[in-house]
Amino acid sequence: MFHTIVAQGLFLCKHARTDIAPAIAYMMTRVRNPNQDDWMKLVRMMKFLKQTQKDQLTLKSDGSCTLKWHVDAAFAIHPDYKSHTGGTLTMGKGAITSISRKQGLNTRHSIEAEVVAADEVVGPMIWTQLFLEAQGYHLEDNILYQDNKSAILLESNGCKSAGKHSRHLNICLFFITDQKEKDT
């Protein structure tokens, strides 16, 4: 039953209620062996859906023609100690799109999880910018916001600021550094 309700929640999340994406992403990792705590989280999500069923998503541009991406990571929260990425795109009021997914690799520190999260969002950032420009829209900027200063420094400087705890990161994670240098 847990699996069925979570699958229905996934359908709802993808088609109408993106606000439940973090809860669904977590519960999808628990469908094979849910415990009592997982059931309580599912019940809490269902109560939230019932209380907010009349809410409407309102999107409003602030007029700046700037894409604003907000990204964050939750370090080692899954049973296999993988971290979780969350990101949203806005142009003013309301989230146009959002990303919520389990990271594909284990990281040793929260800073590395933040870098992986930023790396996972850079692809959709570039695609969205290119798509909107191909549709004839002129964008002023495409900005990625993060809350971890160490991760921002690591992304900006690449290997130059990698210390003993971050040297093992694969060079592909510094794709964001290259994009920043190209100013794309």
Half-sphere exposure of 103 (CA within 13 A, CB side): 31
* pTM of the predicted model as reported, rounded to 2 decimal places: 0.72
Model confidence at 166: pLDDT above 60:
no
Q: CA distances (Å), 33 to each of 20, 22, 29, 36, 48, in order? A: 21, 19, 9, 10, 23
Q: For domain 60-182, which CATH number applies: 3.40.50.11060, 3.60.15.10, 3.60.21.10, 3.30.420.10?
A: 3.30.420.10
Expressed in angstroms, the distance from the first to the final Cα of the chain is: 46
Percent with pLDDT over 70 in the chain: 86
How far apart are the C-alpha atoms of 50 and 65, rounded to whole Å? 35
Which position has the token pair 């009592």?
Answer: 36
Q: How confident is the model at residue 60 (pLDDT cuts 50, 70, 90)?
A: confident
Residues 6+ apart with CB under 8 A from 146: 71, 72, 114, 118, 152
Strand 141-145 relative to strand 66-74, pairing: parallel
Instruction: Give the pLDDT of residue 96.
Output: 85
Percent with pLDDT over 90 in the chain: 42
Model confidence at 159: pLDDT above 90:
no
Model confidence at 145: pLDDT above 90:
yes
Q: What is the pLDDT of residues 67-121, one digit of tens each?
A: 999 999 999 988 889 999 999 999 988 888 888 888 988 888 888 899 889 989 9
Instruction: Give the pLDDT of residue 156.
Output: 76
